[in-house]
Amino acid sequence: MAEVVVSLEKVNIYQGQSLILQDVNFTIEKGEFVYLVGKTGTGKSSLLKTLYGELSLKEGKANVVGYNLSDMDWKKVPFLRRNLGVVFQDFQLLTDRNVYDNLRFVLKATGWRNNQLIDEKINDVLEKVGLKSKGFKMTFEMSGGEQQRVDIARALLNSPKLILADEPTGNLDPETSDEIMQLLFQIAKDYGTTVLMATHDFIVINRYPSRILKTENGKVYDSSDFE
């Protein structure tokens, strides 16, 4: 049986007092690539924020990378997030330092102490995203596609079981979007990393078809239910 990485059962998601999504039920398995689509304001971001512990779970059962979200408090959130990689549309890289130091900063912040292991890990993730020779470059000198690769490398640092990618191709031209999509699919296939990717880009979805979760009218619909 495949390992379940994300499991939601009868989950209601709130933003403050407002019910945003109700009766959400789905599972995502190890190594699966799943799209999350839906119009702005239909709950995509609220769902992602729930999965990485920014919004607390009030109703229903949810388990993400082995963590029970009903039982999540601020002390446990950092441990949850160490098992997740989050990739943003706007990169959120530190512009005052080079690629290597961006990645080193994250490892230090998550408790890595051994400099040799830090070096090995950074070289490993840069190789995975095709930037092996770019560690010395300042992030602001890089193209959008290269910066997004650094962001993905950063998400891979703690060998996450799950990557949550929020519009990772949103600011990229079509050719660069293709490269990033191929990279994300390769990471899922080669390393068994589960990827949940929020996107508005149906050109990307048509070129790289996969299972789709759609937020609409306060519900989450799963394409695998209609196949």
Average of per-residue pLDDT across 170-186: 93
Average pLDDT value for residue range 53-72? 93
Mean pLDDT score across all residues of the chain? 93
Q: Domain for residue 88, yes or no?
A: no
Q: Identify whether residues 54 and 107 lie together within a single domain.
A: no
Specify if 89 maps to a domain: no
More confident: 226 or 116: 116
90 located within any domain: no
Domain holding 10, by residue range, is: 1-83+160-227
Q: Indicate if the pLDDT at residue 74 is higher than 80.
A: yes
- % the chain with pLDDT above 90: 79
**Region 155-160 average pLDDT:** 92
Q: Are residues 111 and 75 in the same domain?
A: no
- Pair (12, 77) in one structural domain: yes
Q: How many domains does the chain have?
A: 2
DSSP E strand stretches across the chain? 4-15, 18-29, 33-37, 59-64, 67-68, 84-87, 162-166, 194-198, 211-216, 219-222
The CATH number of residue 188's host domain is: 3.40.50.300
Residue 145: which residues within 8 A CB-CB, separation 6 or more? 172, 176, 179, 180
Amino acid letter, residue 72: M
Q: What is the pLDDT of residues 89-99, one digit of tens each?
A: 777 899 999 99
- Name the 3-class secondary structure at 45: helix
